[in-house]
């Protein structure tokens, strides 16, 4: 059974619309992340959260907003979508101690913006 669930697996959106990417992890981790992968940038760090608090934000655009309603949830809201936002978005988590920085990835959400 997948321990990090991302929904939906595929998403098609029109330019200018808004979408929410869902991520839930059942590994008991306190740190969660979002990464983006496209043909132009192989694996790009976006956000990190620890205990539901934003730790690092490497996304220049405010159109990308992470949302953490529960400790094991980290959703990603994207507004005013652009074709350049087309990518696979990976959610990841890591253990708090002992294996710091070892990332466990979800299956990803493949977003296509038309």
Partner 1 sequence: GDSVTQTEGLVTLTEGLPVMLNCTYQTIYSNPFLFWYVQHLNESPRLLLKSFTDNKRTEHQGFHATLHKSSSSFHLQKSSAQLSDSALYYCALGGYKVVFGSGTRLLVSP
Q: What is the largest CA-CA distance in the chain?
A: 43
Beta-bridged to residue 75, according to DSSP, are: 67
* Residue reference for tokens 């997948």: 2
Sign of CA dihedral 50, 75, 61, 90: positive
d(CA 54, CA 46): 11
* CB nearer partner 1, residue 33 or residue 64: 33
User: Taking CB under 8 A as the rule, does residue 5 contact partner 1?
Assistant: no
The reply on whether position 106 binds partner 1 by CB under 8 A is yes
Residues 42 to 101: which contact partner 1 by CB under 8 A? 42-45, 48, 55-56, 58, 90, 94, 100-101
Instruction: Check residue 30 for interaction with partner 1 (CB under 8 A).
Output: no
**What residues make contact with partner 1 under the rule CB under 8 A?**
33, 42-45, 48, 55-56, 58, 90, 94, 100-108
């Amino acid at each position: 059974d997948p321990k990090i669930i991302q929904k939906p697996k595929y998403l098609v959106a029109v330019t200018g619309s808004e979408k929410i990417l869902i991520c839930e992890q059942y590994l008991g981790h306190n740190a969660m992340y979002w990464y983006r992968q496209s043909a132009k940038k192989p694996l790009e760090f976006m956000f990190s959260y620890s205990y539901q608090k934003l730790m690092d934000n490497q996304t220049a655009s405010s159109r990308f907003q992470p949302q953490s309603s529960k400790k094991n949830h980290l959703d990603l809201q994207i507004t005013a979508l652009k074709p350049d936002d087309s990518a696979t978005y990976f959610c990841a988590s890591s253990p708090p101690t002992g294996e710091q920085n070892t990332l466990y990835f979800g299956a990803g959400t493949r977003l296509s913006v038309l």
